[in-house]
Each structure stands twice: as structure tokens, then as C-alpha cells.
């Protein structure tokens, strides 16, 4: 356990160095967030239908999704994927620790450090925007606490899915196609592109059971107060259960694959 904690610490400090990349990321996210918010503005102001979520909550939801994008499992660990492509992954097998947990620790750092750098400037900008575009702070501290806890749950799911992406590289060398497909499924079904409450009711019920809703939707709805704090144990348990299920699946596939791993020479 101590070894894994120090891996997280080392990787975390290393990833904090990439400030320019984080800045570029924040600008890009700001750009896309603005377009999404303007589109939502168009929809909300052109029809008077009853919506399950009001405009202010919807755009707050969008801004949270954009700010926390780095935490979503939209790509794998590029260093690990390169190791697999070059065959150097064999060195990883020599390490006297569980490979899956080692990758998991790396994923944990990968999903937290850049997000920390990106999200803070984006949150500040999103709060300061003109009234029609700006996000709102939670109504009370309890909602804020709910958001923090649910974000931690989201992080666990995200790390396990990141590991699945790493592992698929073992199967398809380039891993590019699966990765991009998975990332577009993640972004739509987590609620990052369109807030999940706006989905058609039947589809929404289905999506609420999938692990992706735990990534953006649940934390964002705690933030905006759609879910009340007394529901926190239920939702957090939901997130942890999915994280555990994907964790077990990942461990299992990886261990099976390692047994018959063929490394191309060179």
C-alpha cells in the first residue's frame, strides 16, 4: 500500500509540472463550454416546455463537466500505451507489485493532477461570466460536501475505466479506435455534452444504471442541488459498486492476458 501511495505522490508531482498544457486545456474547455452554453441558451429561450432541470442548473452542470474533463476516462495512460507498443512493457512485469494496482495508482495521479490545474482557472472564469453564461455556486455547504464526495466516487470509476483502456492496448496494439469510441460514449453518456436530466425519460432511466452517470451527472447534480445530501450514501455506494465491478473485471482480464503475453522481439 505504501508503495502505491508513493507512486501516486511521485506521478502527481511530476504531472503538476505541465502548466502550459493545462492552461491550453483550460482555454480549449472554456471555448467548448461557451458554445455548449450558448446552444442551451438557444434551446431554453425558444420553447416554453417544462424541463426537468432549469437553465441556470443546466449551464452550471455544463461548466462542471468542462472543468472536470481531465478527470474523465477519455484517454489511456500514454506512457503505458507506448511501453506496450514498443514491447518495453516486459520491464513492468518484473516489478515486485501487482501490475494492475501499479497502473491504477498511476491512473489516480493522471486523473487528479492535471484536473486540479485546469479546473481552478475554469471555475473562476465560469463564475465571473455575464449572467446568461455564468455558473452558480451551490446553495449551501452541504451541497458542496455532497459534490466533493461524489467527485471522489467519480474518480474511482474513472481510474478503473482508464485501466480498461490501458489493457485494451494489449489486445490491439494501436488501441486508437477503441479508445476514441469509448471516449465518445463516455462523454455523451456521462452527461458531459448534454446534461442527463434532459435525456428522454426511458433512456435516462437506463443511463442512470450505467457507470458513466457516476462520472459527471451524479457529482453535478449534488452541486446544483438536484440531489439532496441525504441521498449521498445511496449514490456514493452506487459509484463505489461500479468502481469495484470494473476493478475486478480489469484485474481479471489483465492477469489472464499476462499469462499468454507474447512480446515482439527487438
Partner 1 sequence: MESIRLYFKYIKLNIESQLQYKASFIMMSVGHFLITFIEFLGIWVLFERFGNIRGFTFEEAALFYGIVHIAFAITEGWTRGFDIFPRLVRSGDFDRILLRPRTTVLQILGHDFQIMRIGRLFQGLVVLIWAVFKLNIRWTLGKTLLLIGSILGGNFLFSGLIVLQATLSFWSVQSLEIVNSFTYGGVQAAQYPISIYKPWFRKILIYIIPLATVNYFPALNILEKSQLFNYPIWLGWISPLIGLVFFIFSLLVWQLGVRYYTSTGS
Angle CA(250)–CA(7)–CA(256) in degrees, nearest 5? 25
From the CB of 41, what's the least distance to partner 1, in Å?
8
Q: Which is nearer to partner 1, 31 or 152 (CB)?
A: 31
What is the DSSP secondary structure assignment for residue 77, as one 8-state letter? -
Is residue 144 a contact partner of residue 81, using CB atoms and an 8 Å limit? Answer: no
CB neighbours of 102 closer than 8 A, spacing ≥ 6?
Answer: 4, 7, 92, 95
Q: Decide if residue 25 touches partner 1 (CB under 8 A).
A: yes
CA-closest candidate to residue 78, choices 179, 157, 216, 186:
179
Cα 26 → chain centroid = 15
Q: Decide if residue 170 touches partner 1 (CB under 8 A).
A: no
Determine the Cα–Cα distance for residues 211 and 190; give it in Å rounded to an integer: 8
Q: Decide if residue 174 touches partner 1 (CB under 8 A).
A: yes
From the CB of 265, what's the least distance to partner 1, in Å?
21
Size of the site for partner 1 (CB under 8 A): 38
**Using CB under 8 A as the criterion, what x/- string covers residues 197-216 for binding partner 1?**
-xxx--x-------------
Among 5, 10, 14, 39, binds partner 1 (CB under 8 A): 39
Angle CA(64)–CA(65)–CA(70) in degrees, nearest 5? 110
Among 9, 19, 95, 180, binds partner 1 (CB under 8 A): 180
Binding site for partner 1 (CB under 8 A): 20-21, 24-25, 27-28, 31-32, 35-36, 38-47, 49, 51, 132, 174, 176-178, 180-181, 184-185, 188, 193-194, 198-200, 203
Amino acid at each position: 500500500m505504501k508503495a502505491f501511495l508513493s507512486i501516486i505522490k511521485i506521478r502527481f508531482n511530476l504531472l503538476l509540472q505541465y502548466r502550459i498544457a493545462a492552461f491550453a486545456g483550460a482555454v480549449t474547455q472554456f471555448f467548448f463550454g461557451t458554445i455548449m452554453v450558448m446552444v442551451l441558451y438557444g434551446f431554453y429561450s425558444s420553447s416554453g416546455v417544462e424541463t426537468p432541470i432549469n437553465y441556470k442548473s443546466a449551464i452550471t452542470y455544463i461548466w462542471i463537466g468542462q472543468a472536470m474533463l481531465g478527470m474523465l476516462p477519455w484517454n489511456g495512460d500514454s506512457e503505458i500505451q507506448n511501453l506496450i507498443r514498443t514491447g518495453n512493457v516486459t520491464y513492468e512485469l518484473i516489478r515486485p507489485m501487482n501490475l494492475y494496482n501499479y497502473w491504477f495508482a498511476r491512473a489516480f495521479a493522471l486523473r487528479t493532477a492535471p484536473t486540479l490545474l485546469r479546473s481552478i482557472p475554469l471555475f473562476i472564469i465560469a463564475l465571473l461570466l455575464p449572467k446568461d453564461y455564468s455558473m452558480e455556486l451551490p446553495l449551501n455547504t452541504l451541497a458542496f460536501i455532497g459534490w466533493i464526495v461524489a467527485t471522489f466516487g467519480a474518480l474511482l470509476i474513472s481510474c478503473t475505466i482508464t485501466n480498461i483502456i490501458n489493457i485494451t492496448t494489449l489486445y490491439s496494439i494501436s488501441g486508437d479506435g477503441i479508445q476514441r469510441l469509448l471516449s465518445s460514449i463516455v462523454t455523451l453518456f456521462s452527461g458531459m455534452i448534454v446534461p442527463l436530466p434532459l435525456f428522454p425519460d426511458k433512456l435516462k432511466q437506463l443511463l442512470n444504471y450505467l457507470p458513466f452517470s457516476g462520472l459527471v451527472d451524479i457529482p453535478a447534480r449534488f452541486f446544483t442541488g438536484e440531489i439532496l445530501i441525504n441521498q449521498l450514501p445511496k449514490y456514493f455506494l452506487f459509484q463505489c459498486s461500479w468502481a469495484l465491478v470494473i476493478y475486478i473485471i480489469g484485474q481479471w482480464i489483465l492477469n489472464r492476458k499476462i499469462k499468454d503475453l507474447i512480446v515482439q522481439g527487438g
